[in-house]
């Protein structure tokens, strides 16, 4: 059975959106995954089809009602994990994405306004997930990000041209390193030469150079990931403040 996604939203017309194109779009057409965009408003019970109300305790904005959202969840809930997108959630990681890809699918709740009533989060055991430390106007883009990240990992979605084996956060990179920089033709462009090792034909030397670059980039840009990488026993010889011999070249490209 294919991987099944449902998004509960006030704007179902925003789906599939970007997910209807490229890798995810082809996989959707091929039936490798399915997407059900459910309009929360269809579960409103009053004649105005209200889905939100003012916050108890006062304050700006509106809050999505628990009874309406709960009815929408009830309509799709099964064995799939239930996630609501919110800036105060646990940050999304590639590990979590891999976990979702291995399951039956996901039900995503996209918030709007100030967010959703806390009681439905607790009653339904919704996992609160954030896609980063910034505030979007709605959860639809966040849901799209989650689905894009998961769908590309589903079996048969990525061809050999796109590989997850050697990318940022991949297991082959200890799960904690950013990816090394890439180069293609021409070998020299605007006075910038491709690092010579990449033209050497020495596979082991290329692999070693890429690994050093991945480490240097991670150390320079993401102290949190670098600390996690260094803490792994097999990488225990990584000094936390090493010399700069492996400084990344990706910041401006190598000059001849
Ligand atoms: N009042 C909320 C707060 O301060 O945390 C922000 C609400 S935001 C304007 C409206 C909706 O956008 C949220 O309910 C959530 O679904 C979505 N959203 C905004 N930023 C997000 C983020 N970084 N990650 C995931 N969802 C986000």
Q: Is the CB of 248 under 6 A from ligand 1?
A: no
In this structure, the residue with its CA closest to atom 17 of ligand 1 is: 139
Position in ligand 1 atom list of the atom nearest CA 115: 14
Nearest in space to 85 (alpha carbons), one of 163, 9, 189, 194: 9
Residues with Cβ within 8 Å of residue 243, at least 6 apart in sequence:
none
Share of the chain above pLDDT 90, in %: 83
- Look at 156 and 160; give whichever has higher pLDDT: 156
- Structure token pair of residue 219: 């150390």
Q: Is the CB of 24 under 6 A from ligand 1?
A: no
Q: Is the CB of 88 under 6 A from ligand 1?
A: yes
Q: What is the pLDDT of residues 36-70, one digit of tens each?
A: 999 999 999 999 999 999 999 999 999 999 999 99
Q: Could you give all domains of the chain from N- to C-terminal order, each with its CATH number? A: 3-151 (3.40.1280.10), 162-235 (1.10.1270.20)
Q: Is the CB of 51 under 6 A from ligand 1?
A: no
Residues with Cβ within 8 Å of residue 29, at least 6 apart in sequence:
none
* Cβ atoms within 10 Å of 7's Cβ, excluding its own: 27
Q: What is the pLDDT of residue 170?
A: 81
In this structure, the residue with its CA closest to atom 5 of ligand 1 is: 87
Is the dihedral angle over the CA atoms 46, 49, 52, 53 positive or is it negative? negative
Q: How far is the CA of 128 from the centre of ligand 1 (A)?
A: 11
Q: What is the pLDDT of residues 96-109, one digit of tens each?
A: 999 999 999 999 99
Is the per-residue pLDDT at 254 higher than 60? Answer: no
Over the chain, what is the mean pLDDT? 92
Residue with tokens 């000059």: 255
Q: Is the CB of 142 under 6 A from ligand 1?
A: yes
- What beta strand segments (E) does the chain contain? 3-9, 33-39, 52-53, 63-64, 82-91, 105-110, 127-130, 188-189, 192-193
Q: How far is the CA of 215 from the centre of ligand 1 (A)?
A: 33
Q: What is the pLDDT of residue 154?
A: 97
CA distances from 205 to 3, 119, 171, 187 (A): 40, 56, 21, 18
Nearest in space to 61 (alpha carbons), one of 118, 115, 120, 20: 115
Residues with Cβ within 8 Å of residue 234, at least 6 apart in sequence:
174
Q: What is the pLDDT of residue 242?
A: 43
Q: How far is the CA of 115 from the centre of ligand 1 (A)?
A: 7
Q: How far is the CA of 140 from the centre of ligand 1 (A)?
A: 10
Q: How far is the CA of 84 from the centre of ligand 1 (A)?
A: 10
Count the residues in the chain: 256
Question: Model confidence at 237, in pLDDT bands (50, 70, 90)?
Answer: low
Q: What is the pLDDT of residues 161-206, one digit of tens each?
A: 667 777 888 877 777 899 999 999 999 999 999 999 999 999 999 9
Min mean pLDDT across 99-103, 138-142, 241-245 is at: 241-245
Residue 31 and residue 161 in contact, taking contact as beta carbons nearer than 8 Å: no
Measured between alpha carbons, how far is 136 from 142 in angstroms, rounded to an integer? 8
- Look at 136 and 169; give whichever has higher pLDDT: 136
Residue with tokens 């050999």: 160
Measured between alpha carbons, how far is 49 from 214 in angstroms, rounded to an integer? 52
Residue with tokens 């041209």: 161
């Amino acid at each position: 059975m294919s991987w099944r996604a449902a998004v509960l939203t006030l704007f179902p017309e925003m789906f599939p959106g970007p997910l209807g194109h490229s890798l995810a779009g082809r996989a959707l057409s091929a039936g490798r995954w399915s997407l059900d965009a459910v309009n929360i408003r269809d579960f409103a019970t009053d004649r105005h089809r209200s889905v939100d109300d003012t916050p108890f305790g006062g304050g700006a904005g509106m809050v999505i009602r628990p009874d309406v959202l709960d009815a929408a969840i009830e309509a799709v809930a099964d064995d799939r994990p239930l996630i609501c997108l919110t800036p105060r959630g646990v940050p999304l990681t590639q590990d979590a994405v891999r976990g979702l890809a291995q399951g039956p699918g996901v039900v995503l709740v996209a918030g709007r306004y100030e967010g959703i009533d806390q009681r439905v989060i607790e009653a339904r055991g919704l996992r609160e997930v954030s896609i980063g430390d910034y505030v979007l106007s709605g959860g639809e883009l966040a849901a799209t990000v989650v689905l894009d990240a998961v769908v590309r990992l589903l079996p048969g979605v990525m061809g050999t041209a796109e590989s997850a084996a050697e990318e940022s956060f991949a297991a082959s990179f200890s799960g904690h390193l950013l990816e090394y920089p890439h180069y293609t033709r021409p070998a020299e462009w605007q006075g910038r030469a491709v690092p010579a090792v990449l033209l050497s034909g020495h596979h082991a030397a290329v692999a070693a150079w890429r690994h050093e670059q991945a480490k240097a980039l991670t150390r320079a840009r993401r102290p949190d990931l670098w600390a996690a990488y260094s803490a792994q026993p097999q990488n225990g010889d990584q000094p936390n403040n090493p010399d700069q011999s492996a400084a990344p070249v990706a910041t401006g490209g190598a000059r001849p």
